[in-house]
Amino acid sequence: MTSLADQLRLLLPPVSYDGTAPNLSAAIEAEANALSLSEAQAETVYSAIFADSGVGLSDWERLLKLPDPCLIGESLTVRQRVQAVVSKLQARGGQSRSFFIALAKALGYDITITTFRPARVGLSKINDPLYSGAWAFTWRVNAPAVTVNHAAVGISGAGDPIASWGNKVLECRLSQLQPAEGILLFGYGGN
C-alpha cells in the first residue's frame, strides 16, 4: 500500500504538475501528515463514544459524578473505574433481583440474592426459619469470599496492580440503589 502522500500525488493532473518537485512535494507531505493526524484524532473521538473502551474515562467519570461518595479515597484500578462507568450507565432503573444481579455482574461480581419471607400459617413447614417484621424487606447479597479483579490488556493503566480484591465497590453501588424500604445484608463465602 502506498503512503497517503503518494496517493495525494496520484490525484494531481499528470501533465500540469510534477509531484516530485521540492516545494509541491513538501506541501503534499504536510497535507498528508495533517490528514493522518486528523484521522487518528477522529478514531480517538469515536472510541470515546463507547464507555467500555476506557478512552475519555475522566470525562465519563465527571459526567456521571464518579467515583461514588462512598468510594472517595479508595484506590481503584482503571478496569474498576471503567466497570463503574458502564454499570452506572446501565443502572437506569430497576428494583428486581435480576436487575441487581446484572448490576453486580457489570461491576465484575457474580452474586446471588436470598430473600426472606415471614412465617405464614399453611405455607410454613416445621423447621422453616421464623422471620417477621423487617425480614420481609431484607435481601442478602451472596458473593464469593474473595472476588479478584485481574488486570486486562487494553483496559488496565500504567501503575495498576496485576490483581486487586475487595468488595467495597459492590457494597457501595448496591447500597446506593437499594429499594427505599429495603435492607441489604452482604454475605461472603459459604452462605
CA distance 90 to 56: 18
Instruction: With beta carbons less than 8 A apart as the criterion, state whether 18 and 9 touch.
Output: no
CA distance 9 to 19: 5
Q: Tell me the per-residue pLDDT of 11-70, one tens digit each, with 9 for 90 and over.
A: 999 888 888 889 999 999 999 999 999 999 999 899 889 988 888 899 999 999 999 888
Burial class of residue 53 in the structure, from the number of CB atoms within 10 Å of its CB (0-12 exposed, 13-18 middle, 19+ buried): middle
Cβ-based neighbours of 48, under 8 Å, separated by 6 or more: 55, 56, 59
Q: Tell me the per-residue pLDDT of 151-188, one tens digit each, with 9 for 90 and over.
A: 777 777 787 878 777 888 899 999 988 888 889 999 99
pLDDT at position 191 is: 53
CA distance 145 to 149: 13
Residue 113: which of 189, 185, 190 has the closest Cα? 185
Burial class of residue 124 in the structure, from the number of CB atoms within 10 Å of its CB (0-12 exposed, 13-18 middle, 19+ buried): middle
pLDDT class for 1, splitting at 50, 70, 90? Answer: very low
Record the pTM: 0.66
